[in-house]
Chains A and B, each alone.
Chain A
Amino acid sequence: MKAVLTGSHFMLGDIACAEGALAAGCNFFGGYPITPATETAERMALRLPQVGGHYIQMEDEIASLAAVLGASCAGAKAMTATSGPGFSLMQENIGLGIVTETPCVIVNVQRGGPSTGLPTLAGQADMMQAKWGSHGDYEAIAYVPNSCQEMFDFTIKAFNTAEKYRQPVFVMADEIIGHMTERVVIPGPKKIKLVSRKRPKGKKNYLPFKPDKDLIPPMALAGEGYGIHITGLTHDARGYPVIDEETQHEMVTRLIEKIRRHAPKIWEFEEVETEDADIVVVSYGAASRSAGRAVNIARKEGIKAGLMRLITAWPFPEKRIKELAESAKAFVVPEINMGQISREVERFASGRVLSVTHAGGGMLSPEAVLQKIKEVAK
């Protein structure tokens, strides 16, 4: 069986995510069933053995991410897929992945929360958890798909980014996108650009955490004879624990800079009619579909509205928000939560930010967005 199912398909979002992972070279999946992410796991259980990979159903999400990190350390392109409660359980090991610079992909098909919340209904309320969920300072990378095609495409992007920057990367989908069925076009394998982690160029002088100029260290795998030591403790370039202020400062600064310095290359967004927009609607994921419709109607009614749709929520494309803020009168931020990314927009858009909130459980309507646009336009 082929890893890349080239052709045009009518496909569920969660399944498109699994197919994207396979097209990206994923050969290890460790997970624990949870609605609405289960179909990704089920698809991987079916497909991975067909392409020589391994699917393992772990005992919980803590174990799932631990297994994924272990597999990555042995050279696998590894992933897990979960939803809110599982994402909460993964947070400690997300920190381990960050500090040990272990590439992997974590898909969160968000549902309504807090707690068990709405297992079968949508939410986008884990956006801040993706940024701040694990303890300590770090920079997150998160893609937010708004179609089944993007479940496929962004999962590939997530693998490539994880490999390139050597850290866990999130796909922050939502139940609506995970559970909708749409056309997905899968290109030929040669058309899919793949990135693999940087590898040491020989054993001489190799230090596991000595970065190159781009701040990213080449990664040696278990069993290659490097005799590496990898720890979740604060460590020096050798990977040895050093518990002092200077080492902490050096390590954390580099880990953060590794992402911040490259942020302009990582962040992605899409804009519709923002050139002359008085009102910029910033949205992402399922909510951005309603946002797009609201902007269309507003334009027809003569209101100068535009849409900035986030492709990466993290790193947050702050530079672009600042630029837009120079000419726009206001920002409207519709999302299926009580105003998480809205606050982030506020940080860079000098105060004129209005959120359109929805507690979760369904789609945010275009009318709600349009109403807010009209309120601002008055």
Chain B
Amino acid sequence: MSAKGAGNEGKIETVEGHPLDHILRQDRLPHIWCPGCGLGSAMTCFAQAIERVDIPLKKQVLLSGIGCTGRIAGYVNVDSYHTTHGRAIPFATGLKIANPELCVTVFSGDGDLFAIGGNHFLHAARRNVDINVICVNNFNYGMTGGQQGPTTPVEAKTTTTRYGSFEHPFNLPYLAAAIGAVYVSRWTTLHCRHLEKSMEKALQKKGFTFIEIVSPCPTGFGRPNKLGEGLEELRYYREKSVIKNDASWDEMDLHMRGEEPIVVGDFLDTEKPTYLELEEQMLRKRGFMK
């Protein structure tokens, strides 16, 4: 950027790069996301987290399905797989089982993971496959033009709910905990530090972990629902978010309107044997493994 007109020539320090440059694929930037979209912040948090944890980047694998969020796999500089719509979780399951040394994360949108991919989410959590699932919930299908999705709140306007949505949305942390995830948390893109910490925890935790990121999609959801541009939505998060780690499941419902709070926090952290651990246990019992 030119410093001309700022009246402080000579004082501006030129930075050659960003400390996270090596974690992003520089040759793929700029990204395709809209101004004000929360996906940049979500990706930055993830980049910080994968760098901080004590797992070599070489052993990290990032997968995604299809959608704006799904594009993240193409920007982060680790082995990455951009699969079919909704199918990143089973793809990740095969990858993890074939090479248990890999730290496997699926990063995708609410539509991808919970509409078309819903069944896979259920079963991977039930099996406690050792993968991490991070869902960017922007309450709509961003990439295809702002249609209703499985997290669209009642009354919300989307391009396919012109009269307001009349479907009950998923409460994602509730769902994840109910079906067997060992770690469940939710943050908004305003809660960068918390989110990073949660991601670090998930990456290091054995078993199926789930993080929901409430994120602005000004293009598809913010404008039609009077949440405004990205920055205004972040203001809204600041006003309405309540950190409540021991929240009850019904408190976690998201309405995204009026006085209703956005309850965030580290909701669940528990232990149980993973899919591969149980497999090993059974085989040992039957004498197939020493």
Contacts and interface: CB of A to CB of B under 8 A. Distances in A.
A78 interface: yes
- Leading 9 A-B pairs by shortest Cβ distance: A70-B94, A67-B94, A63-B90, A71-B94, A66-B90, A70-B95, A74-B98, A231-B82, A71-B98
A359 interface: no
B288 A49 contact: yes
Contacts of B96: 70, 74
B99 interface: yes
A222 B74 contact: no
Interface in B34-69: 58-59, 61, 63
A145 interface: no
A215 B262 CA distance: 53
B92 interface: yes
Interface stretch (A13-21, A53-61, A191-199): A53-61
Interface string B80-120: 11111001111111111111011000000000000000011
Contact of B90 (A70, A73, A100, A232): A70
Interface residues of B, number: 39
B79 A226 contact: yes
Given A60-B119, A223-B79, A223-B101, A50 B288 contact: yes
Contact of A222 (B28, B89, B95, B288): B95
Contacts of A68: 94
A240 B73 CA distance: 11
A116 B27 CA distance: 48
Interface string B113-142: 000000110110000000000000000000
Task: From A30, A76, A92, A223, name the one whose CB has the most chain B CB atoms within 10 angstroms.
Answer: A223
A260 to B, nearest CB: 25
Nearest to A73: B95
B interface: dominant SS = helix
B58 A241 contact: no
Interface string A219-241: 00111111111111100001011
A73 B63 CA distance: 12
B83 A66 contact: yes
Given A66-B91, A223-B61, A59 B74 contact: no
Interface string A11-54: 00000000000000001101000000000000000000110001
B16 interface: no
A62 B94 CA distance: 13
A69 to B, nearest CB: 6
Given A74-B99, A75-B99, A229 B80 contact: yes
B185 interface: no
A67 B90 contact: yes
Contact of A28 (B58, B89, B97): B97
Contact of B87 (A49, A93, A223, A238): A93
B279 A58 contact: no
Interface in A90-112: 92-93, 95-96, 100
Contacts of B77: 227
Given A63-B123, A74-B102, A223-B99, A93 B94 contact: no
Nearest to A1: B288
18 contacts: A58-B123, A59-B90, A62-B87, A63-B87, A63-B119, A66-B84, A67-B91, A67-B97, A68-B94, A69-B94, A70-B81, A70-B93, A71-B94, A73-B94, A76-B98, A226-B79, A229-B80, A230-B82
Q: Which of A60, A63, A64, A241 has the most CB of B within 10 A?
A: A63
Contacts of B176: none
Indicate the member of A30, A73, A93, A222 with the most B CB atoms within 10 Å.
Answer: A222
- Chain A contact residues (Cβ within 8 angstroms of B): what range? 35 or more
Given A76-B94, A232-B83, 4 more contacts: A54-B97, A54-B98, A223-B58, A240-B27
A56 B102 contact: no
Contacts of B119: 59-60, 63
B202 interface: no
A236 B76 CA distance: 18
Contacts of A227: 77-79
Nearest to B58: A225
Contacts of B91: 66-67, 69-70, 73
A223 B102 contact: yes
A197 to B, nearest CB: 14
A58 B90 contact: yes
Contacts of A72: 94, 98
A70 B25 CA distance: 22
A71 B97 contact: yes
B178 interface: no
A56 B81 CA distance: 21
A96 to B, nearest CB: 5
Contacts of A28: 94, 97-98
Nearest to B103: A223
A100 B28 CA distance: 19
B242 interface: no
Contacts of B73: 229, 231
A78 B78 CA distance: 23
B262 to A, nearest CB: 32
A240 B27 CA distance: 10
Contact of B80 (A27, A224, A230): A230
B222 to A, nearest CB: 26
Contacts of A58: 90, 93, 123
